[in-house]
Amino acid sequence: MFGRLVEVFDRRFGFREDFKRNVLDHPVPPRINLTYCFGGITFLLYMLLAATGITMLFFYVPSVDHAFVTVEYITFDLPLGNPIRAIHHWSAQLMIVFVSLHMLRVFVYGAYKNPREFNWVTGVFLFGITLAFGFTGYLLPWDQKAYWATKVGVLMPKSLPAVGPFLSQLLMGGDDLGALTLSRFFAIHVAVLPIFTVIFLAGHF
C-alpha cells in the first residue's frame, strides 16, 4: 500500500531519482572532516528536541498551579518520562554548542561568502531562534531557579532607551512574572518558534 502510494507520487515528481542524484550519488569533496558534520548534528538534535517535546506536551500543563507538578510527574512517575526529559534537556544544551560550532566553522572557512550569503543570513536567524528556544524553555518547569533566572532575563531589556520598559512588560505580560508570562513563553516555545524554525530551515537547506 505504502509502496504504491510512493510510486504514484514518484511518477509525478520524480523525487526518488532527485534524492539518489543529489544525496546518494553526490560526490564527497576532498579534505572533508568532522567539522562538516556540525550542521547535520544540529539538525539531528533539533529533531530529538521536537520528538521529546511533543511527547511531554501530552502531560505538561502551562499554568502556575500545575506546571511544576506536571514536570515532577513527567520526571518521576511517567514511564520513560525521566529519560525523555533528560534527552530534551541535554539536546537543548548540545544544540546551542553545535550551532555555535557550525557558525564558527562557516566563518573560518569563509563559506558565508558569495554565492552562499543567503545561507549565512538564514543561519544567523536560526542561531537567534535556538537561543530563544533555550530562553523560553527555561521558564517552563516553573521552579525557583527558572523563575528567578527568567526574571533577570526579562528585566534586562528594561535598560534600553525608549522601547526597553515596553519590551520587558511585553515579555512578562504585566509588571511581574506570573500566569501570563508562563503562557506567553509556552506559546512562543511550542508554536511561534517552531514555525519560524521550519521557515528558516527550508531557506537554509
Q: Is pLDDT at 34 greater than 80 in this prediction?
A: yes
Structural domain contains residue 131: yes
Residue-level pLDDT at 27: 79
Largest CA-CA distance found in the chain, in angstroms, rounded: 62
Structural domain contains residue 24: no
Q: State the first-to-last Cα distance of the chain, in angstroms, to the nearest integer.
A: 30
Tens digit of each residue's pLDDT (9 = 90 or more) over 137-185: 999 999 999 999 999 999 999 888 889 999 999 999 888 899 999 999 9
Q: Are 134 and 92 in contact (CB under 8 A)?
A: yes
Structural domain contains residue 16: no
What are the residues whose beta carbons fall under 8 Å from the beta carbon of 136, sequence distance 6 or more? 185, 186, 188, 189, 193
Phi, psi of 73 (to 5 degrees): -65, -45
Nearest to 46 by CA among 185, 195, 197: 197
Residue-level pLDDT at 26: 75
Structural domain contains residue 159: yes
Name the pLDDT band for 130 (thresholds 50, 70, 90): very high
Tens digit of each residue's pLDDT (9 = 90 or more) over 41-78: 999 999 999 999 999 999 999 999 999 999 999 999 99
Residue-level pLDDT at 59: 97
Residue-level pLDDT at 69: 97
Structural domain contains residue 12: no
pLDDT > 90 fraction of the chain, expressed in percent and rounded: 74
Domains in the chain, number: 1
pTM (2 decimals)? Answer: 0.86
Q: Are 137 and 190 in contact (CB under 8 A)?
A: no
Full domain range(s) for residue 188: 35-204
Q: Which pairs from 104-108 meet CB under 8 Å and 24+ separation?
A: 105/35, 105/36, 105/38
Q: What is the CATH number of the domain that holds 128?
A: 1.20.810.10
Structural domain contains residue 13: no
Structural domain contains residue 41: yes
Nearest to 75 by CA among 85, 65, 66: 85
Collapse the DSSP code of 90 into the 3-class scheme (helix H, G, I; strand E, B; otherwise coil) and give the result.
helix
Instruction: Pinpoint the alpha helices (H) of 58-143.
Output: 67-72, 81-108, 117-139
Q: Is pLDDT at 199 greater than 80 in this prediction?
A: yes
Residue-level pLDDT at 25: 78
* 167/159 Cα distance (integer angstroms): 10
Structural domain contains residue 23: no
Residue with cell 514511564: 79
